[in-house]
């Protein structure tokens, strides 16, 4: 048997094993934390390089990818509220790219959107301050127009963790879980074929990864409470997460902690959303359970995948022999000031329809919406289609008011909200601190690249 045939046969065997969730038995790795290169107080200074690489997405099979600093996911950036973050970025890719700091409130020139590409061989210094109250789980990824989905699928994504000095959960062991998916062909190469189904649904991969690993194992001690920070870095896949026998304590979302924990049997994570969950070790030594993604029908009937009803196994949770004391969780995690919709001076309607927003495709030379710096507004998102759309606003976090007229039970900071098929969502937002041009778009990245995106310009002195 030739080496090539052996390689293809090995890949086929590994791919066949994936649905059973047993392709590997590796311990879950945490992405490396990028080293701070400065001793200046309240400053984090790092270097990120985007470049082609060859990495093993499946054991024994190397694949040509794009990577930040040679790894998938890219290295984790850690900083504290109030810190100045300086990122020296070098683009060693053969095409333009950028780094978008997803969810961060920062000056428009630092946002890394499609209006500010970095050319091949070029560099750019992202330099901004992480404001008080910004503690949370964020992520970074490219944002060049027409190529965001491709570059993310190639492997360009990583986490940014902003910490608070008075974090009420700092005593808990913490795990970062970055969920992604890739599509490989029978040679082990990334498959970017793009047909009508992918145009409609966005591309979903046949290889589901947690921190770049297939079906890793996470150790949990009986009695222990772990804090899981979870990022959905997939271009189009939704994750309906559950851990059988273990209800989640949902303690935070895109913009950080809630006021109080909420117990849930499952959590839905649309593309680009983040959650913080507390997982309690209620099992016995040696027990196992599986982190699963349950079926979720986000599709039109015409493009619904044949296997959409299959439960996906993402990670094994295995109990160690060593027991741990069960800590007390504070009843109040942090105050979340409520934005008052009665103070809103404007309302905007966004209709998400057949790859368009309000009937328009993205035009970098056109401003679609204008708002005054400091204003508070209500946005209504309508989705008359038979397909979900996750809606993301750059630069400013918002609070969901209601879904189909049903009020949200408590305030939480969000930058992405899923709008299910045939439904509507309203949120309230205040444009503080930073004027400039900001993107809003569907975060199914094939939809965004097609042009399901617009520009909001926030202007000093009024609209």
pLDDT tens-place string over residues 160-185: 999 999 999 999 999 999 999 999 99
Mean pLDDT of 307-326: 95
pTM: 0.95
Residue 10 has pLDDT above 70, yes or no: no
Residue 112 has pLDDT above 60, yes or no: yes
What is the pLDDT, as a whole number, of residue 420? Answer: 98
Q: How confident is the model at residue 235 (pLDDT cuts 50, 70, 90)?
A: very high
- Strand segments, DSSP code E, in 414-452 are 416-419, 424-430, 436-442
Cβ–Cβ < 8 Å for 440, 454: yes
Cβ–Cβ < 8 Å for 344, 429: no
What is the pLDDT, as a whole number, of residue 421? Answer: 97
Mean pLDDT of 10-30: 58
Cα–Cα distance for residue pair 288/368, rounded to 1 Å: 52
Residue 406 has pLDDT above 60, yes or no: yes
Give 372's contacts (C-beta < 8 A, 6+ positions apart). Answer: 345, 431, 458, 459, 460, 461, 462, 463
Same domain, 308 and 183: yes
Q: What percent of the chain has pLDDT over 70?
A: 94
Same domain, 277 and 360: no
Cα–Cα distance for residue pair 331/261, rounded to 1 Å: 8
Look over the chain and give the mean of its residue pLDDT values, rounded to a whole number: 94
| Size of the chain in residues | 463
Same domain, 39 and 129: yes
Q: What is the pLDDT of residues 35-49, one digit of tens each?
A: 999 999 999 999 999
Helix, strand, coil content of the chain in percent (nearest 5) = 10, 45, 50
Cα–Cα distance for residue pair 130/409, rounded to 1 Å: 28
Same domain, 181 and 245: yes
Task: Write down which residue in 163, 193, 218 finishes a domain.
Answer: 163
What is the pLDDT, as a whole number, of residue 385? Answer: 87
Residue that is written with structure tokens 């809630």 in the block: 258
Comparing 3 with 123, the larger pLDDT belongs to 123
Same domain, 219 and 301: yes
Cβ–Cβ < 8 Å for 76, 126: no
Residue 5 has pLDDT above 90, yes or no: no
- CATH code for the domain of 74: 2.60.40.420
Q: What is the pLDDT of residues 358-380, one digit of tens each?
A: 999 999 999 999 999 999 999 99
Q: How far is CA 155 from the centre of its chain?
A: 13
What is the pLDDT, as a whole number, of residue 463? Answer: 63
Note down the domain range covering 217.
174-319
Same domain, 272 and 376: no
What is the pLDDT, as a whole number, of residue 328? Answer: 93
- Which helix (H) or strand (E) segment holds residue 11: the answer is helix 3-17
What is the pLDDT, as a whole number, of residue 101? Answer: 98
Q: Tell me 448's DSSP state.
A: H
Q: Does the residue 7 lie in any domain?
A: no
Cβ–Cβ < 8 Å for 157, 112: no
Mean pLDDT of 82-89: 98
Burial class (CB in 10 A: 0-12, 13-18, 19+), 49: middle
What is the pLDDT, as a whole number, of residue 4? Answer: 44
Could you tell me which of 431, 452, 426 has the C-alpha nearest to residue 440? 452
Same domain, 314 and 188: yes
């Amino acid at each position: 048997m030739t080496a090539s045939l052996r390689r293809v046969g090995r890949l086929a065997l590994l791919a066949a094993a994936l649905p059973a969730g047993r392709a590997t038995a590796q311990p879950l790795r945490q992405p490396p934390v990028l080293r701070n290169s400065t001793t200046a107080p309240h400053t984090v200074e790092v270097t990120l390089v985007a470049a082609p690489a060859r990495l093993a997405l499946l054991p024994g099979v190397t694949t040509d990818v794009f990577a930040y600093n040679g790894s998938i996911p890219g290295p984790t950036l850690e900083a504290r509220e109030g810190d100045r973050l300086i990122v020296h970025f070098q683009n060693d890719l053969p095409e333009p790219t950028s780094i978008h700091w997803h969810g961060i409130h920062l000056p428009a020139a630092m946002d890394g959107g499609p209006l500010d590409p970095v050319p091949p061989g070029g560099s750019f210094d992202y330099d901004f301050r992480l404001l008080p109250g910004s503690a949370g789980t964020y992520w970074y990824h490219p944002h060049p127009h027409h190529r965001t989905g491709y570059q993310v699928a190639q492997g360009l994504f990583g986490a940014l963790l902003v910490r608070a000095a008075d974090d009420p959960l700092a005593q808990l062991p913490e795990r970062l879980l970055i969920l992604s998916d890739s599509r490989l062909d029978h040679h082990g190469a990334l498959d970017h074929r793009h047909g009508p189904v992918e145009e409609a649904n966005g591309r979903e991969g046949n290889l589901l990864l947690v921190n770049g690993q297939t079906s890793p194992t996470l150790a949990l001690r009986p009695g222990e409470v772990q804090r899981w920070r979870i990022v959905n870095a997939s271009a189009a896949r939704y994750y309906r997460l559950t851990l059988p026998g273990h209800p989640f304590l949902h303690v935070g979302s895109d913009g950080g902690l809630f006021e109080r924990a909420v117990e849930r049997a499952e959590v839905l994570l649309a593309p680009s959303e983040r959650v913080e969950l507390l997982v309690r070790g209620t099992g016995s030594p040696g027990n196992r359970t599986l982190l699963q993604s349950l079926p979720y029908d986000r599709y039109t009937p015409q493009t619904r995948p044949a296997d959409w009803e299959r439960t996906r196994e993402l990670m094994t949770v295995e109990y160690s022999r060593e027991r741990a004391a069960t800590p007390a969780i504070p009843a109040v995690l942090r105050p979340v000031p409520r934005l008052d919709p009665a103070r809103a001076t404007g309302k905007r309607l966004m209709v998400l329809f057949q790859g368009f927003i309000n009937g328009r495709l993205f035009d970098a030379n056109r401003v679609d919406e204008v708002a005054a710096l400091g204003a508070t507004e209500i946005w209504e998102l309508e989705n008359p289609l038979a397909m979900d759309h996750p809606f993301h606003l750059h630069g400013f976090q918002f609070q969901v008011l209601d879904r189909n007229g049903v009020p949200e039970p408590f305030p939480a900071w969000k930058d992405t909200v899923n709008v299910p098929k045939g439904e509507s969502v309203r949120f309230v937002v205040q444009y503080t601190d930073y004027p400039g041009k900001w993107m809003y778009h569907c975060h199914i990245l094939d939809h965004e690249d097609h042009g399901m995106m617009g520009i909001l310009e926030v202007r000093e002195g009024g609209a």
